[in-house]
Structure 1
């Protein structure tokens, strides 16, 4: 978790840039992101959460599955059916808020070699991809929840910060 940027870091509100070089450095970044995500018991991680402003995310919704990397992801389509569910974030420790998202999405991206991939996802997988794509645009779950939940989340973040400083 020490590598994951926390709420208040300006990089979390920044828009990531398109990746144009598909080289060993990118593949190493993706490998490292997968390890950090696993170590933090996360199911998704965006490069911006590590202070890297490139359009890369990794995710895994099944515990034993390999991590999937999406480079330069773009939402091609989202279904009309919406669902509200509780979301947390590695950059907002201790915060859970309700977020409404489309249940079904299709995303066009590139893999770590630069080849085009199309992901059609539903349920949790669709939610995780949308959450991480939000990070690449500088959008946090606090931006997608109700005013009351945002106020509660800010209180929880202040309490967590005070507890961390006291430790």
Structure 2
């Protein structure tokens, strides 16, 4: 039979306080990111290609939120893996998975909207705003996938179905 968590020497356990100091900190971050995604959902779709600055700002925001969602997910998964009998951390993992799905739904606009830009305009913006070059590889990969990107509505539907497959 498996040992209880409190019977395992601390030196043999993960130190998850390097990710979040406490569960309350994790919960606060979850709430904050949910709010941030709600704001993005209201403000960003339809504005990605307003300007080079808009493309940069929305891209950087998306990548930042993605990292924060991943951090929440890793913590929840590792907490759950420590002791799969602990219902609290099963719930954390479920909430983190739901947040991942919500992130996909909220940013379902990004690829279809980005691919409305012509290569000429993109290259012009790249010359005007040097910071866009930090993401050139990502943008070039999107251009390469152009024939396979669904519409925003289809991408959102597919993202919403993500929780079914978890």
Q: TM-score if structure 2 supplies the norm length? A: 0.29
Higher helix share: 2
Task: Tell which structure's C-alpha radius of gyration is larger.
Answer: 2
Higher strand share: 1
Q: TM-score if structure 1 supplies the norm length? A: 0.29
